Amino acid sequence: MRYILVYKIIILFTLLCVTTAQAQRVQQTLPSKTRILFLLDGSGSMLAGWGNTNRITAAKELLTELVDSLKSNDQLELALRAYGHLYRRHSQNCRDTRLEVGFGKNNHDQIINKLKMIDPKGTTPIAYSLEQSANDFPSAPGYRNIIIIITDGIESCDGDPCAVSLALQKKGIFLKPFIIGIGMGKEYKDQFKCIGEYYDAKDIQSFQKALSKAVSTTLDKTTASVELLDINNAPKETNVNVSFVNNFTKEPAFDFVHYRDTQGRPDSVVLDPVLTYDVVVNTLPPVIKRNVNLTPGKHNVITIKSPQGGLSIKQRGATAYGSGVKALIRQKNSAHLVHAHDINTNQQYLVGEYDIEVLTIPRRHFKNISVEQDKTTSISLPDPGILNINNSAAGYGSIYEIKPSGEQEWVYNLPHDQSRVTLAIQPGNYKIVFRVDRAPGSKYTAIKTVTIEEGRSVVVKLFD
């Protein structure tokens, strides 16, 4: 027996160590490798003059320099797709796009040579090209998929690049695209923001800068910490779920339970700077900081005011209601439900004032209840009494509470097919109105009054 006991202890200890090790392993990480697809505009308008050259020549030269500079990065794969370069403009071919160089290792020279061969001719099928690019990315996991669109014009084939981009991002085909507008002007930003992040390249220098920024945003390691501020703007709140939601697709990208070390410092997490986030602090109610853009390659500190206090709603005899009682918590003068609070539990809420509706029988209402920083506001309800109703026959009836003002308020409808009813009900004065099913008229309605006392039981016979 002793050896069996020792063996069981060893097994339990081993399981504990394995579970602890798994819990301390980083659970949410970015893929270690990246794919970048360059989607290059080869339409006829790219032959327009730009500085001392033309748009297509400048784009090809700068893209060539960039591709050449990325040869040493073994965590990166590149590909090249072009559009508007296969058919003349007069044909208005809205399927004029082709993957010129697919993803692969050490294909940089292949991309550079293919760039030399692109000759602008046709139209601008951005939506169709984006749609086809979904097939360009291999299905192998462990990669972040990025698209950099280089164009000098908007969609010219009646396609909807906004809808295509959103659909493919929702499917996880690629992250939010970068769009570099060559010689287009900032006024086009609104037309492209539904596709991705737009950069206005008004001249060759700004084009080079935009291209470099798109790549550095993709590749640079970026971290962030979240400071949850209390009512005094001190970063002391913690242990709250914080969600980083993709602002474009509205889908969660990262979820963390906020942490502070023994010195009160929040930890850092690695995030993807390609995305724009809505940061949701999942307090009750939640606090949302929208349109958060991270500075690539830097540590970002995100401050969000989310002061909290406790609320405790107590009733010793709540179990008399069977499965327990809940309280509906709403912000002051608001119809929006914040939370369904279980009786006899302590729950954290944002500092503020709340209206509370406790789902006892009858319901009890509390207005303008204050929740304060680092304090617990307590509400106590009297224990219910037990009302036992006996009746010799089926019928129809209701229970009303008689208010101190003399007004009555409906509380409960008696079940038609039960001759005995046992009901947990709050202390107070009540009236029972009942008519037997077989009675030949309303005038045979019976009325009984009863007083319910805390923790006590009472029997009412509707007909003696």
Region of poorest pLDDT, from 18-27, 257-266, 411-420, 424-433 = 18-27
User: Looking at this protein, which amino acid is placed at residue 347?
Assistant: Q
pLDDT at residue 457 in the model:
95
pLDDT at residue 28 in the model:
66
213-268 pLDDT tens trace: 999 999 999 999 999 999 999 999 999 999 999 999 999 999 999 999 999 899 89
Gyration radius from the chain CA atoms: 34
pLDDT at residue 27 in the model:
56
8-37 pLDDT tens trace: 444 554 444 444 444 445 556 889 899 999
pLDDT at residue 438 in the model:
86
Q: Token pair of 42, please?
A: 């080869």
Residue 73, Cβ neighbours under 10 Å: how many? Answer: 14
| Location of structure tokens 């990208």 | 253
User: What's the CA gap between 414 and 391, in Å, rounded?
Assistant: 11
Instruction: State the pTM of this model.
Output: 0.85
pLDDT at residue 464 in the model:
64
170-182 pLDDT tens trace: 999 999 999 999 9
Angle (CA) 283-289-291 rounded to 5° is: 150
Top-confidence residue, 63 or 316: 63
CA dihedral (197, 201, 206, 212) positive or negative: positive
User: Looking at this protein, which amino acid is placed at residue 366?
Assistant: F
185-206 pLDDT tens trace: 777 888 899 999 999 999 999 9
Q: Which residues pair with 41 in a beta bridge?
A: 83
* Long-range contacts at 100-105 (CB < 8 A, ≥ 24 apart): 102/136, 103/35, 103/37, 103/77, 103/78, 103/79, 103/136, 103/137, 103/138, 104/77, 104/79, 105/74, 105/77
90-123 pLDDT tens trace: 888 999 999 999 999 999 999 999 999 999 999 9
pLDDT at residue 276 in the model:
96
User: What's the CA gap between 455 and 423, in Å, rounded?
Assistant: 12
CB 114 within 8 A of CB 80: yes
* CA separation, residue 442 to residues 151, 167, 192 (Å): 82, 64, 72
What is the residue-averaged pLDDT of the chain? 91
pLDDT at residue 414 in the model:
93
User: What's the CA gap between 411 and 401, in Å, rounded?
Assistant: 6
Top-confidence residue, 126 or 19: 126
Residues of the chain above pLDDT 90, percent: 81
Quote the longest CA-to-CA distance of the chain. 107
Compute CA 211 distance to the chain's CA centroid, rounded to the nearest angstrom. 31
Average pLDDT over residues 282-309: 97
Average pLDDT over residues 331-359: 96
Closest-CA residue to 236 (of 329, 305, 145, 150):
305
CB 329 within 8 A of CB 354: yes
User: What's the CA gap between 357 and 341, in Å, rounded?
Assistant: 10
3-state secondary structure labels for all residues of 83-122: ECCCCCHHHCCCCCEEEEEEEECCCHHHHHHHHHHCCCCC
Q: Token pair of 154, please?
A: 């908007």
Q: Token pair of 177, please?
A: 């695209």
For residue 252, cis peptide bond before it (omega within 30 degrees of 0): no
